[in-house]
Amino acid sequence: MSEVTCIWQIQALLGEGPLWVAAEKALYWVDILNRQVHRLEPASGQKRSWTFAESITSLALRESGGFVGTVPHGFVAIDLKAGTIDPIVTVETDLPNNRFNDGKVDSNGRFWAGTMDKQEKEATGTLYRLDPDLSLHVMDQDYIITNGPAFSVDGKTMYHNDSIKGLVYAFDLQDDGMLGGKRPFQQLTFAINGAPDGMTVDSENCLWLAHYGGARLTRFAPTGEILEEVSLPVPNVTSCTFGGPDLDTLYITTASQNMSAAELEKHPLSGSLFAYKPGVKGLPTPHFAG
């Protein structure tokens, strides 16, 4: 498979958060706006979906069992078998126009997730860090849409973006979880590149970025140089992660929200799940240590 392949044809409104669960050889992903979690076993093609009363916007495995994730206003423990969502910590109840968006675990087992303005206009979004002892830390502010936490191979650089500002930032991530040295890593122009969305780092320390409205993934060297561009047959590419038994497959989520009937007719696979073998492997997904 050196071509981008549609592996689950579905019109997700906002496919996001792909997560490879190695022990199950399964890919989990969410549809934020349809309040669903999807699961696919690529080897057998077996699929399953859950619908909840509120959106799960990101997911990660927990060392202590089940999943940790985010809902619009907090961090939660999720038990998919039981179909339950239990609050861990609630945030921003004074900001009804905000909701959580993307989240990811770092190599020290801490869960990073951020909020966004649902109208995509005001810089009311915050990046949080949930530690294994379940303490919550405000790590950065002034985002319109937080997206795509990703970590370098040595765990010392964190990438995180503001999709609406078109900025992918790099930070120095210290062992104690503190961030320093915030700097622009990429500045994208929407009309040319779309908006920077989900990201993942491969085993050669290069960054894969999903372009929302830009119909592609880009692979960047740590220097910022563009190494590869992979086109998708849909405009809104939201996130990607490595998976498969050999971690050699990129699983790519997409969105169909805000598209006209004519656009959907032109790009009928919008919202579907795609796979691509880029010829480089990914890193195992760390579990939340709490």
Q: Which residues form the interface with ligand BGC (CB under 6 A)?
A: 14, 16, 32, 101-102, 145, 147, 163, 195, 197, 212, 238
Active site annotation includes 162 = no
Q: How far is the CB of 69 from ligand BGC (least distance, A)?
A: 14
Write down the catalytic residue from 102, 117, 197, 202.
197
Partners of 6 in beta bridges: 274
Q: How far apart are the first and last CA of the chain?
A: 37
Position with the least CB separation from ligand BGC: 163
Which residue carries 């795609």 as its tokens?
Answer: 274
Q: Answer yes or no whether residue 31 interacts with Ca ion by CB under 5 A.
A: no
CA dist., res. 166 & res. 38, Å (int): 29
Q: Answer yes or no whether residue 198 interacts with Ca ion by CB under 5 A.
A: yes
CB 155, CB 107: distance < 8 Å: yes
Q: Which is nearer to Ca ion, 198 or 244 (CB)?
A: 198
Q: How far is the CB of 278 from Ca ion (least distance, A)?
A: 20
Q: Answer yes or no whether residue 102 interacts with Ca ion by CB under 5 A.
A: yes
Which residue carries 């303490």 as its tokens?
Answer: 135
Torsion angle of the four alpha carbons 171, 195, 282, 5, in this order, in degrees rounded to the nearest 10 = 180
Q: Which is nearer to Ca ion, 210 or 230 (CB)?
A: 210
- Among the listed ranges 74-82, 97-105, 216-224, 266-274, the one in contact with Ca ion (CB under 5 A) is 97-105
Q: Answer yes or no whether residue 271 interacts with Ca ion by CB under 5 A.
A: no
User: 185 contacts which partner out of Ca ion, ligand BGC, none, CB within 5 to 8 A by kind?
Assistant: none
User: 212 contacts which partner out of ligand BGC, Ca ion, none, CB within 5 to 8 A by kind?
Assistant: ligand BGC
CA dist., res. 116 & res. 288, Å (int): 22
User: 195 contacts which partner out of Ca ion, ligand BGC, none, CB within 5 to 8 A by kind?
Assistant: ligand BGC
User: 32 contacts which partner out of ligand BGC, Ca ion, none, CB within 5 to 8 A by kind?
Assistant: ligand BGC
Q: Answer yes or no whether residue 249 interacts with Ca ion by CB under 5 A.
A: no
CB 48, CB 36: distance < 8 Å: no
Please spell the DSSP secondary structure of 202-243, one letter per residue. Answer: BTTSPEEEEEETTTEEEEE-TTS-EEEEEE-SSSBEEEEEEE
CA dist., res. 229 & res. 186, Å (int): 15
Torsion angle of the four alpha carbons 10, 13, 16, 21, in this order, in degrees rounded to the nearest 10 = -40
Q: Which is nearer to ligand BGC, 212 or 276 (CB)?
A: 212
Q: Which is nearer to ligand BGC, 148 or 243 (CB)?
A: 148
Residues recognised as catalytic: 197
